[in-house]
Amino acid sequence: MSRFQKFKHQTRDVIHRGFDRHIRLAVTGLSGAGKTALITGILEQLLYANETQQLPYFNVRQQQRLNGCRLHTSSNWQVSRFDYEGAIDCLTGQAPKWPQSTRDVSEIRVEIKYQPRSGLAGRVMDTRRLTLDLIDYPGEWLLDLPLLQLSYDEWSRQQQRLLKAELRDQLASGWLDKVQTAVKVASEEKAEQQLRELATDYRAFLRQCRERKLLLLQPGRMVLPGELEGAPALEFFPWPLSEPMPEAWAKRLREKYRYYQQNVITPFYQKYFKHFNRQVVLVDVLQALQNGEHHFAELQLAINELMKSFSYGNNSLLKRLMSPVIDKVALVATKADSIAPQNHQKLTQLLQLMTQKQRQELQFDQIPHQVFSVAGIATSQIRKLSDGTTVLDGINEQRELVRVGAPEVPNAMPTEADWRQGYVYPQFYPGFTAQDSPLPHIRLDQLLEYVLGDKLK
Ligand SMILES: Nc1nc2c(ncn2[C@@H]2O[C@H](COP(=O)(O)OP(=O)(O)OP(=O)(O)O)[C@@H](O)[C@H]2O)c(=O)[nH]1
Ligand SMILES: [Mg+2]
């Protein structure tokens, strides 16, 4: 190699390193919000980007500067690889179905190779690379994050308020009776056993809440313990009564809670959420509308709690704990294929209203953010009938073709009368075959452009 060639090679290397970029994207959302489907959809669109016309707003593709994308295992070798192929097999197999609810953490890395648009880099080298890391995890564990900011007593007070809400009060009544009875016989010698039994009953109550589709379920590991199944770390519960805790119990409950904060929640977030620099917050607005007023209120409360912990300013808890530098946030209403396109704007508007306070905080911290309505995997076909009505065709759980009138979406907070009338949205099933790849989506290209576009110039 001549000296000139060597110089050129080294220069290229240095510039490559300088321009190679890395995005760690935190896909956050409660259980069922659509994280796994969205990650699958993103990977699908990236891998097939050059073979599809489905990405008009993804500039690097549209400007024909995309060389291609490749999947890799993440650099964190202790974590399973996100099973993209498994998810696609589920969606396109013999009996297509949605991938199962996530039970554990997984990660995947995408290498995106592209040509720069212009400028110095455009002249000196041919290609650049953007590395995108995505992490998938059970939504239940996300709700542990707000606990880091609360003492046991603060958490208990919050839960006491929540336990008075309709539906929750009914579901909790059995457990509350047990606590009231047990308080009378609380003793130092039997404390451990008494608390273990009450914690088991609390867990049963949380599971009932989950079955009834309530959302703010804490601690998350009690709903989905993972490797903590049966561990003493989970033998606590929020103090639910207005009378003070018996002395024999108070110290133990506070101690267990602190242990859970320090040894379960903190290591989890330090391990997986470190170095995140972009965030997508997924919200299943339609499901909450369908489930009714209390669920909708609870969803808002959960988003509020979550975004408080993700508060992006310098003094935020996350910053102190693991110093991520989240510099862009997308707030996303999912499953937009359950409504007609003319209602997408209303869905976006509703999420905008629901997150008004959080968006003001983002604005204050000068974090760019935008609200979207998307479908990671779109399952419906829109048809306009001769009488002017719009309908959605899709497949139901029994794999029959069904047609439903396109349901309405409120563009303002529903009124009492709206709630009385209620909302119903279709839940379509995937009916794809292997030939359907890349699977259809709604507005993933706009989301990709927002989250990745500035790094692909
Ligand atoms: N129509 C439609 N349904 C979707 C879409 N994404 C998710 N769903 C539905 O929502 C369910 C939950 O989606 P997931 O992607 O598994 O949700 P998740 O956030 O990963 O949930 P956890 O793994 O439990 O935390 C799926 O089983 C589908 O029924 C979408 O783009 N369109
Ligand atoms: Mg999942």
- What domains can be seen in the chain, in order of their start residue? 3-142+276-378+433-455 (3.40.50.300), 149-270 (no CATH)
- Alpha-carbon distance 84 to 437, whole Å? 13
Question: Which amino acid would we find at residue 450?
Answer: Y
Q: How far is the CA of 36 from the centre of ligand 1 (A)?
A: 7
Of all helices (H) and strands (E), which one includes residue 156?
helix 152-162
Question: Which pLDDT does position 313 carry in this prediction?
Answer: 65
- Alpha-carbon distance 74 to 109, whole Å? 5
The DSSP bridge pattern shows strands 80-81 and 390-395 to be unpaired
Q: Which residue has the CA at smallest separation from atom 13 of ligand 1?
A: 34
Question: Which pLDDT does position 30 carry in this prediction?
Answer: 96
Name the residue of 30, 101, 217, 344 whose CB sits within 8 Å of the most ligand 1 atoms, as the mutation to test its pocket: 101
- Alpha-carbon distance 82 to 93, whole Å? 18
Question: Which pLDDT does position 17 carry in this prediction?
Answer: 43
Q: Are 339 and 349 in contact (CB under 8 A)?
A: no
Atom of ligand 1 nearest to the CA of 282: 19
Question: Which pLDDT does position 19 carry in this prediction?
Answer: 54
Atom of ligand 1 nearest to the CA of 40: 15
Question: Which pLDDT does position 20 carry in this prediction?
Answer: 62
Q: Which residue has the CA at smallest separation from atom 12 of ligand 1?
A: 32
Judged by DSSP in three states, 21 sits in strand
Q: Which two tokens stand for residue 351?
A: 């999420």
Q: How far is the CA of 41 from the centre of ligand 2 (A)?
A: 13
Question: Which pLDDT does position 310 carry in this prediction?
Answer: 74
Question: Which pLDDT does position 121 carry in this prediction?
Answer: 53
If the chain, 457 residues long, is cut into consecutive pieces of 10 residues, what is the mean pLDDT of each piece?
52 48 93 97 98 95 96 88 97 95 95 85 72 95 92 97 94 97 95 97 97 96 94 97 95 98 92 85 97 95 86 65 79 97 97 95 91 98 93 94 95 95 96 93 98 95
Question: Which pLDDT does position 15 carry in this prediction?
Answer: 46
- Alpha-carbon distance 15 to 31, whole Å? 42
Q: Which ligand is closest to the CA of 82, given by its number? A: 2
The DSSP bridge pattern shows strands 329-333 and 80-81 to be unpaired
- Alpha-carbon distance 53 to 404, whole Å? 28
Name the residue of 30, 43, 88, 102 whose CB sits within 8 Å of the most ligand 1 atoms, as the mutation to test its pocket: 102
Atom of ligand 1 nearest to the CA of 426: 1
Q: How far is the CA of 296 from the centre of ligand 2 (A)?
A: 21
Q: How far is the CA of 210 from the centre of ligand 1 (A)?
A: 16
Q: Are 286 and 374 in contact (CB under 8 A)?
A: no
* Phi (first) and psi of residue 315, to 5 degrees: -95, 10
Closest CA relative to residue 283, chosen from 332, 346, 343:
332
Q: Which two tokens stand for residue 188?
A: 């130092």
Question: Which pLDDT does position 416 carry in this prediction?
Answer: 96
Q: Which two tokens stand for residue 153?
A: 């007593």
Q: Which residue has the CA at smallest separation from atom 28 of ligand 1?
A: 98
Q: Which residues line ligand 1 (CB under 6 A)?
A: 29, 31-37, 98-99, 101-102, 138-139, 334-335, 337-338, 375-377, 379, 427-428
Q: Which ligand is closest to the CA of 334, given by its number? A: 1
The DSSP bridge pattern shows strands 390-395 and 401-405 to be antiparallel
Q: Which residue has the CA at smallest separation from atom 21 of ligand 1?
A: 32
